[in-house]
Structure formats: C-alpha cells, structure tokens
Amino acid sequence: LEKFEVKSYEQLSHIAATFIIEQIRMKPDSVLGLATGSTPVGLYQKLIASHQKCEISFRETTTFNLDEYVGLHSSHPQSYNRFMHDHLFSRIDINNDQIHIPNGETRNLQSECFRYEKAIKNQGPIDIQVLGLGVNGHIGFNEPGTSFQTRTHVVDLAESTREANARFFASKEAVPKQAITVGIDTIMDSHKIILLAFGEQKQAAIERLNNGEVSEDFPASILKEHPNVTLIYG
C-alpha cells in the first residue's frame, strides 16, 4: 500500500481528484470504477470544478459503479443511481451510454449480476477504482466473511452497514436489506485503486488495515496484495 495521510477532508479530496484527473488526461477513454457514500463527494466536486474550468472532459470516459441497493427505483432519492447523477454525472459531459450502475430493481438479480460482470469484462479492465472503506472493513458491499474469490453478486447487508447508512433514510427499517455489489475479485482486477477513508468512525478500520493481517474477516485487507493501491486517509 502506498499511503497519504491527510490533515483535512479537503486535502483528501484534492489528492484523490489529482489521481483521477491525471488518469483522464493520460487516457481520455479511461474506465473509472466509482463509489457512492459520503467519502467521495468532495472528490466528485473537484472533478466537476475541473470540468467546468475546461481542464478535463469525460466524453470518452466509461464508468462502473461498485454497487446498488436492491428494490429501490433508480429515481429513488437514496438509490445509488440517483446519488451518482446528483453528485457527478449530471454536472459533467459524460455520455449516458457509458455510465454503468447495477440495476437493483430487476426481478432476476442473478442474471443482472452476470450481465454486469460481463460488461466490466468486455469494457474493462477498470483503469482506476475509487473505494471507500466501511467501518467494518467492507469494500463495495462485500461484508466481512465474503470470499476473496467473489465476482458481482447479491449480498445481505450487515446490520452495522444498515445502521451506518440509516442517516440517509427516514429510519433504519427503510434501509434496503440487500444490494448488488461487484465482487472482491472483480475489484482486484482493477489496474489501480485509490482507497479513501476519513474521520473519527474510520480510525479503527484504518488501524486494522495498516496493522492487521490479510483476512476475509476484514475485506479491505486483501488490497495489501494488490500491486497498485493508494490509501488516502485522515
């Protein structure tokens, strides 16, 4: 792991944005792997600002999001589809056909997982993957105990994850119980990964990542075996 310890969320967002901007400049048709949640919001604001200053264009860029809740309509305010459009896609020049997010409202979840995995295979590999860090060490929605061999699959969300995400919903009960997530092995296929973690609630997870063993009990630990991961944390 390459590491950047930051003093502020602003600095974390700035460093993360630098990685993505350089990637797009170097290869305008890059394939980006994107995350939702609070942590990358500042990064997305920086990308929007950079685009508005005409420094970068996303016209040739393809994106794959990590995950989506099962059972929420894509326009539901808490769906990850809506989140990505609100926080990034509607404010940059990306082509809608080149945006990929798992469809969590299909009846056949298995075939959706298969379709998504195949799309990544056909259009990938992902050049740079943005990851947040769950308080329990999850990456994407791969919760502790998930096999490191997994490809895109349906997951039952951990209670701690539903609690952590309840802040976006009317109540914890309103948080969906399942999600579709790319697998750990899918994530590991990315050429480059930036893992973002910031704030008080993440300190224990950061400590375990830095000093603990590689174990399926702590999914993010596998990233230590990837040749090109940068942890940006504070």
Residue 193 Cβ vs ligand F6R, minimum distance, rounded to whole Å: 12
User: For this structure, is 22 an active site residue?
Assistant: no
143 is catalytic: yes
Nearest distance from C-beta of residue 35 to ligand F6R, angstroms:
4
With beta carbons less than 8 A apart as the criterion, state whether 218 and 154 touch. Answer: no
Which 161-180 positions form the footprint of ligand F6R (CB under 6 A)? none
| Helix, strand, coil percentages, rounded to 5, for the chain | 40, 20, 40
* Other residues' Cβ atoms within 10 Å of the Cβ of residue 13: 23
We find the least distance from the C-beta atom of residue 228 to ligand F6R, in angstroms, to be: 19
Q: Rule CB under 6 A: choose which of 132, 176, 183, 219 binds ligand F6R.
A: 132
Q: Does 143 bind ligand F6R (CB under 6 A)?
A: no
Work out which of 19, 31, 64, 67 binds ligand F6R, going by CB under 6 A: 67
Is 140 a residue that touches ligand F6R (CB under 6 A)?
yes
- CA 62/CA 107 separation, integer angstroms: 26
* Identity at 40, one-letter amino acid code: P
| Strands 153-156 vs 178-181: parallel, antiparallel or unpaired | antiparallel
Query: If residue 170 lies in a helix (H) or strand (E), which one and from where to where?
Result: none
What residue has token string 């991961």? Answer: 229
Which residue out of 65, 136, 142, 165 is catalytically annotated? 136
Which residues lie near ligand F6R (CB under 6 A)? 35-39, 66-67, 132-134, 138-141
